[in-house]
Amino acid sequence: SYELTQPPSVSVSPGQTATITCSGDKLRDKYASWYQKRPGQSPVLVIYQDFKRPSGIPERFSGSNSGNTATLTISGTQAMDEADYFCQAWDSSTLFVFGPGTTVTVL
C-alpha cells in the first residue's frame, strides 16, 4: 500500500519560514493536499492540487510537489499557525492516502 512520511515536528520562530515535507514514492505523479488541524478543531484545507489555496487561506501558505516530495511552506509564520499539518495524496488508482502529520511549534 502507498505510504507518506512526514517529520514529526518542526519548530519556527515568529516571522520566519516553516517548511514541512511529505514524502512518498513518485509523489509528483499524484495531487498533494495539506490540512491544518488545531487541537479540538476539525481539519482545514490549506493547499490542494499541489499549490492551490482555497478561498480564505492566507497567502503565506504555499505548496509545491516535485519528485518524491511535496512541501508546505508557511512564510512569515504567526503564532496562530501553531498546529498539526498533515498531507494527503490522491490519484485515480490509489485514491486518498494521508500522512502521519507534523506538529509545527512557533517558538
Partner 1 sequence: QVQLQESGPGLVKPSETLSLTCTVSGGSMSDFYWAWIRQPPGKEMEWIGYVSYTGTSKYKSSLKSRVTMSIDTSKNQFSLRLTSVTAADTALYYCARVPLTHDDSGTYGDAFDVWGQGTVVTVSS
Q: What angle do CA 61, 91, 55 make, to 5 degrees?
A: 30
**Residue 24 interacting with partner 1 (CB under 8 A):** no
Q: How far is the CB of 49 from partner 1 (least distance, A)?
A: 7
Choice from 27, 70, 72, 99 touching partner 1 (CB under 8 A): 99
* Cβ distance to partner 1 smaller for residue 73 or 91: 91
**Residue 93 interacting with partner 1 (CB under 8 A):** no
**Residue 65 interacting with partner 1 (CB under 8 A):** no
**Residue 62 interacting with partner 1 (CB under 8 A):** no
b/e burial code for range 72-95 (CB count within 10 A of at least 16 → b):
bbbeebeeebbbbbbbbbeeeeee
DSSP state of 45: E
Q: How far apart are CA 68 and CA 34, in angstroms?
A: 16
Specify the stretch interacting with partner 1 by CB under 8 A; choose among 14-22, 59-67, 72-80, 82-90. Answer: 82-90
